[in-house]
Structures are given as C-alpha cells and as structure tokens.
Amino acid sequence: MRDIELYRQLLGLPNPWYVDGVELSIEDRRVEVFVEHEEGRLWPCPTCGDELPLYDHSEERQWRHLDTGGFQTFVVSRPPRVRCPRDRVLQVRLPWAEPRSRFTATFERFAIDVLKETDVSGASNILQTSWDETWGIMERAVARGQERKERRVPALLGVDEKAAAKGQTYITVVSDLEQGTVEYISDERKQASLDGYFEAMTEQERAGIRAVAMDMWEPYVLSVRQYLEKPEEKIVFDRFHVMKHMGDAVDTVRKAEHRELRAEGLDILTGSKYLWLYAEENLPSKHRKRFRSLKETSLRTTRAWAIKETLRGLWRYQSLAWAMKFYKQWFFWATHSRLQPVIAVANMLKRHLYGIRNYFSAARITNAAAEGLNSKIQTIKKMAYGFRNREHFKTAIFFHCGGLQLYPATHANAG
C-alpha cells in the first residue's frame, strides 16, 4: 500500500478528498499529510446546505492528527470556500475536523479520552499540546455536549454548594440523583443561584420534580418553596449533609478538648482529627488499633463520636414510624450530652425534621448517587491547581460529571 493510500484510509477521507502527498521530516520528527480535493464538484453551504460551486480557497492550514510512530502528524490543506447568495462567502465543512479546530476530530477524540483520565496539565504532557490548546479541547467538548443534550427534567434533584476557590467563592451544583449527573451550575449559593434553574422550566416540568435533596440551607429552601408545589413534602435533608454537620460538631468538641488536654501536658488526641470523622467501617486498617484504644476512653470527643455514629443508623430504617422512634431516642441522648456543638446540631435537625422525615416517604432518595458525585467533584477540585478560575472549575465538572456526549462528530455526520 502506498503511503498516500495508507493515510487516506487512516484519515477516513470520503470523496472528493484524497491524499496528494506525504512528507516525512526525520529532523523535526514530523509527518505532513497533504490533502486535496477533486475539481468540478459542488459543495454544500455550511449554513443553508445549498449545493454551490467552488468560489476560492482559504489559506493553507494544518490540523494536528494522531502521531505516526511517535512523530507528530499534521493534515495540511487549503479549505474550499463557496459564495452563497444568502450567507456570503463561507468555508465549507471539512470531513476531518470541526470548524475552527486546529486538531483533527480523531485527535480530539483521543485527547478527550486522555482528559477523562488525568488533569489538563497531565494531558498536555501526554499529548504535547499547550495548556491552552488542551483546555480548548475540553471546553469545546463540553459546549458540544451541552448543545446535543436532550431537554429533560430529573424527578430527583440534588442541590449542593461547592467552594470554588480559596476565599468565599461558591458555586451551586444541581444534579440528577437517578442518573448521577450534574445538570446545572450557577454562581454563589444564594436563593437566586437556584431560582435560575427552576425559572428556565415550564410549570409542567416543575410539577415532575418529586424531591430535592439538599443541606439545611435557608436560601435553597426558600427557592424550592417559591417554585415547587407542596415543598414541605419534597425537600429532603439527606444523610450526606446531616452527617457533615455532625462531623463538624465532633471536630469542634475534639478541638476544645485537645486544647485543654495539651494545657495539662496530655497529647492523647494529637493527630486524631480524621479518625473521628470516618464512618467507623471505613476507617483505614492502619488506624484501627489506635482508634480502638481511643474509643475506650471517657473523653468528650469519644462521646460526641458515638452520638454521630449512632445517628447514621437513622437512614437504615425502612419505615417512617420506626425511624422517628429511633430519632426521638437519639435526640434525647444528644440533647442531654452536655456537648454544646452536638446539642446545636440536634436542635437544627429538630427544626428541619419535616425534610428528614421526607426521606422515608415517597421521596426516598438514594445517597449513593449524591455521595459518588460529591467525591468525583472533590477529585476535580484537587486537580484545580490547573484551573485558573471559577468558570474553568464549572467546565471541568460538566466534562467529568455532566453525562454529556463529548466527542466531535465524524465525517459521516459532519454534513
């Protein structure tokens, strides 16, 4: 097989395109594939689709393609232009690349696969592209996916705030708890942050929402109250968020107690912060021995921890009646613990009990999806040294969690 035929096949070039020549530069470790088209055919206008004769060519351009044997490989061509009576002079669609991209569609596909596995800097190293080029591929992939996305309103929503950067910059993330996908992101964590999501819907679409899982956060509660019918039956304060408050309470108790013990020269709590925050069965085995002996102490922290761990049992109940019976016992224990941070959380739960009860009614929400998404977003955030601002963080969340069709179209459906 001659090299020009080989590359025609590799590029999947349809008529009237063909490979006119291939140049290899050993010195530059570079392959250039020159692509030409046959004369005398009509080209569809990229806007209206009318078949038109060739008008002229744009300047010669090149598109980065998949490497050949470790050599960077470029498609080189002069894109034809047509003059459409309606749409002016325009460049026709090329079968190997999307408009305005400097990469072939095949290369972008590969880059997207790499980006799914690593961050932008890592992908840049592997692909030998600049940070901006790699970022551009991610951004276009998300835009493409959003455009293709079918309009659909999830029945079970999750609403969450995320700290976007250092300081107090937040974003609001709305997810589909059945699909495990992020559906909507807006700035801040205000009522308006969530209002925007509901405002874009018809009344009928809003009526299809059965439940909204969220933290006990007043602005979000107010938004749901404003837009959904019977909000007091649909708001769910889920395990994930409730347990986060309990974890904070345990940590506050630990900090105060640690300070007092240190003053007496005791360092039993030193370095124990994260041990108390794990769900007990998730505690890494290397910490088990130490934690077992900590658990046997009569420290205030141990008591706070036991109250936290017991509360997790609430969501294991199937029936609302049994869950509430359990809750009442727990509430008595928590409020008689003489641990202020724990008492404060117990009272917060009491004030929001309607939304905790809803978990056990029609709106039973699986925590697994919410918690899975949450850890995914945490991972994205850890890679965020590569994200230069809040918009970048949002794009990356959609890229990894949006459930979008990210790949560029191949020539078969490029028109």
Which residues bind to Zn ion, rule: CB under 5 A?
45, 47-48, 84, 86-87
Distance in angstroms (rounded) separating the CA atoms of residues 322 and 314: 9
Residue 324 or 414 having the CB closest to Zn ion: 414
**Non-local CB neighbours of 17 within 8 Å, separated by 6+ positions:** 8, 35, 36, 37, 95
Residue with Cβ nearer Zn ion (86 or 289): 86
Which residue lies nearer to Zn ion by CB, 43 or 327? 43
Place of tokens 């080209």: 43
Q: Which residues contact 260 (CB under 8 A, 6 or more apart)?
A: none
Smallest distance from Zn ion to CB 413, Å: 19
Q: Provide, rounded to whole angstroms, the least separation between the CB of residue 77 and Zn ion.
A: 22
Q: What is the total residue count of the chain?
A: 415
Q: What is the DSSP letter of 103?
A: B
The nearest distance, CB 144 to Zn ion, in angstroms, is 22
In the complex, least distance from residue 236 CB atom to Zn ion, rounded to whole angstroms: 51
DSSP percent split of the chain into helix, strand, coil, nearest 5: 50, 20, 30
| Residue 92 beta carbon to Zn ion: minimum distance, rounded to whole angstroms | 11
CB of 82 to Zn ion, least distance (A): 8
Least distance to Zn ion, CB of residue 52, Å: 8
Question: What phi and psi, each to the nearest 5 degrees, are found at residue 277?
Answer: -90, -20
Residue 31 contacts residue 23 (beta carbons within 8 Å): yes
Residue among 46 and 136 whose Cβ is closer to Zn ion: 46
Cβ contacts of residue 74 below 8 Å, gap of 6+? 30, 31, 32, 33, 62, 63, 64, 65
User: Residue 58 or 361: which CB sits closer to Zn ion?
Assistant: 58
Rounded distance, CA 247 to CA 274, Å? Answer: 10
Q: What's the min distance (Å) between Cβ of 91 and Zn ion?
A: 12
89 or 321, CB closer to Zn ion? 89
Give whichever of 47 and 340 is closer to Zn ion, judged by the CB atom. 47
Kind and range of the H or E element at 204?
helix 203-207
Distances (CA, A) of 247 to 274, 309, 311: 10, 9, 11
CA distance linking residue 370 with residue 192, whole number of Å? 22
Give the helix/strand (H/E) hosting 169. Answer: none
Written as one string, the DSSP assignment of 127-143 is HT--HHHHHHHHHHHHH
Nearer to Zn ion, 85 or 167 (CB): 85
Q: Tell me the H-state helices in 228-352.
A: 231-234, 239-263, 285-295, 300-311, 320-335, 340-351
Closest separation in Å from C-beta 54 to Zn ion: 14
By C-beta, is 81 or 245 nearer to Zn ion?
81
